[in-house]
């Protein structure tokens, strides 16, 4: 009885506001959502303020991200050039009531129009009778870039790093240069060129075709395959072809470890001699693998 009496006294002492009905009225929907600025990696949005029966907006929610309720402008950062996205804004009051989302607005970041810097001067690091190995200084760019190797003014190879080996170079005098290309399609100027002279060995006889090619699936769910073939006497390297397309170049060996994509692949091997002469293709070897990239 004493506990009941104490509880009644405590309730009678509470202010009247404690008995007021919980606020269940959401703010008005934000209107006028618009783009006020874009850069290559950001979009700035603005909207008309919402109102609420409580007298203030606790927060705005822009595509799931909270924004202070006393501001009606937000910059979304960390984007990439030419990125298109749809945005919506809703309002939140202090009681947790949330308005419906605004009308959608689609915005696109600015395109990347700045070319990478010019690569450093190309230098020759090695030559054979039919190949030239090159290295160069790095370019810089805000976004991803790669390099294009030019021989006598034409692109003959691309590279992700700062070196490349150009194969099947014919005898004679050749000029090499490198330029950078970024993900926006902007291309730098060409590096300072370098000239290389490859002597004519007079060798026009291709190697014999490799024989006895086999392809063995290691069944590890990673697509691991072992290729084995009979070596050819004057071969200095072998081209591994998957479904008729060049897959990899390996040295003077009779086997190679490769990662094959999921499914069935047909492999052949071509021998290449020091003069760059290529043999006929080996016998084909077909293998079917089950590859799960989530496991490897």
Domains of the chain: which residue ranges?
25-108, 123-198, 211-289
Number of neighbours of residue 102 by Cβ within 10 angstroms: 22
Per-residue pLDDT at 8: 42
Domains 25-108 and 211-289 fall in the same CATH topology:
yes
* Distance of alpha carbon 243 from alpha carbon 286, whole angstroms: 9
* Distance of alpha carbon 217 from alpha carbon 85, whole angstroms: 44
Spatial contact of 193 and 176, defined as CB atoms under 8 Å apart: yes
Q: What is the DSSP string of 62-125?
A: ETTEEEETT--EEEE-S--TT-EEEE-EEEE-TTS-BPPPPPPEEEEPPPP-PPPPPPPPPEEE
126 burial (CB, 10 Å; 0-12 / 13-18 / 19+) is exposed
The CATH label, of 1.50.10.20, 3.30.1330.10, 2.40.50.140, 2.60.40.10, for the domain at 123-198 is 2.60.40.10
Per-residue pLDDT of the chain (296 residues; tens, 9 = 90+): 454 444 444 444 545 454 457 899 999 999 999 999 999 999 999 999 999 999 999 999 999 999 999 999 999 999 999 999 999 999 999 999 999 999 999 999 999 999 999 999 999 999 999 999 999 999 999 999 999 999 999 999 999 999 999 999 999 999 999 999 999 999 999 999 999 999 999 999 999 999 999 999 998 888 899 999 999 999 999 999 999 999 999 999 999 999 988 899 999 999 999 999 999 999 999 999 988 877 77
* Distance of alpha carbon 120 from alpha carbon 137, whole angstroms: 4
Q: In what order do the strands lie in the sheet with 224-230?
A: 211-217, 224-230, 255-259
Structure tokens at 8: 């009644």
* Distance of alpha carbon 196 from alpha carbon 199, whole angstroms: 10
Global pTM value? 0.80
* Distance of alpha carbon 112 from alpha carbon 183, whole angstroms: 8
CATH class of the domain comprising 211-289 = mainly beta
Phi-psi region of 96 (alpha: psi -120 to 50; beta: other; left: phi over 0): left
Number of neighbours of residue 207 by Cβ within 10 angstroms: 22
Per-residue pLDDT at 214: 98
The CATH label, of 2.40.50.140, 3.40.710.10, 3.20.10.10, 2.60.40.10, for the domain at 25-108 is 2.60.40.10
83: Cβ contacts below 8 Å, ≥ 6 apart? 108, 109
* Distance of alpha carbon 61 from alpha carbon 68, whole angstroms: 9
30: Cβ contacts below 8 Å, ≥ 6 apart? 47, 48, 49, 50, 60, 72, 89, 90, 91, 99, 102
């Amino acid at each position: 009885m004493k506990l009941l009496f104490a509880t009644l006294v405590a309730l009678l002492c509470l202010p009247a506001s404690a008995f007021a009905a919980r606020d269940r009225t959401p703010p008005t929907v934000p209107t006028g959502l618009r783009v006020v600025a874009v850069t290559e990696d950001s979009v700035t949005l603005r909207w008309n303020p919402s109102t609420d029966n409580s007298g203030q907006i606790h927060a705005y929610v822009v595509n799931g991200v909270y924004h202070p309720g006393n501001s009606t402008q937000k910059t979304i950062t960390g984007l990439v050039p030419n990125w298109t996205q749809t945005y919506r804004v809703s309002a939140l009051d202090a009681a947790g009531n949330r308005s419906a989302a605004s009308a959608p607005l689609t915005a696109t970041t600015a395109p990347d129009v700045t070319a990478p810097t010019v690569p450093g001067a190309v230098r020759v690091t090695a030559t054979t009778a039919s190949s030239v190995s090159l290295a160069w200084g790095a370019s810089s760019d805000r976004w991803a870039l790669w390099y294009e190797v030019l021989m006598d003014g034409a692109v003959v190879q691309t590279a992700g790093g700062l070196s490349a080996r150009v194969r099947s170079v014919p005898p004679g005098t050749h000029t090499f240069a490198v330029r950078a290309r970024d993900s926006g399609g902007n291309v730098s100027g060409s590096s300072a060129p370098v000239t290389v002279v490859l002597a004519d060995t007079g060798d026009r006889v291709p190697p014999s075709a490799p024989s006895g090619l086999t392809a063995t699936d290691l069944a590890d769910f990673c697509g691991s395959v072992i290729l084995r073939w009979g070596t050819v006497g004057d071969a200095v390297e072998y081209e591994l072809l998957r479904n008729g397309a060049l897959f990899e170049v390996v040295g003077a060996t009779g086997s190679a470890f490769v990662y094959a994509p999921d499914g069935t692949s047909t492999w052949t091997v071509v021998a290449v001699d020091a003069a760059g002469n290529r043999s006929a293709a080996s016998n084909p070897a077909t293998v079917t693998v089950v590859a799960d990239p989530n496991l490897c």
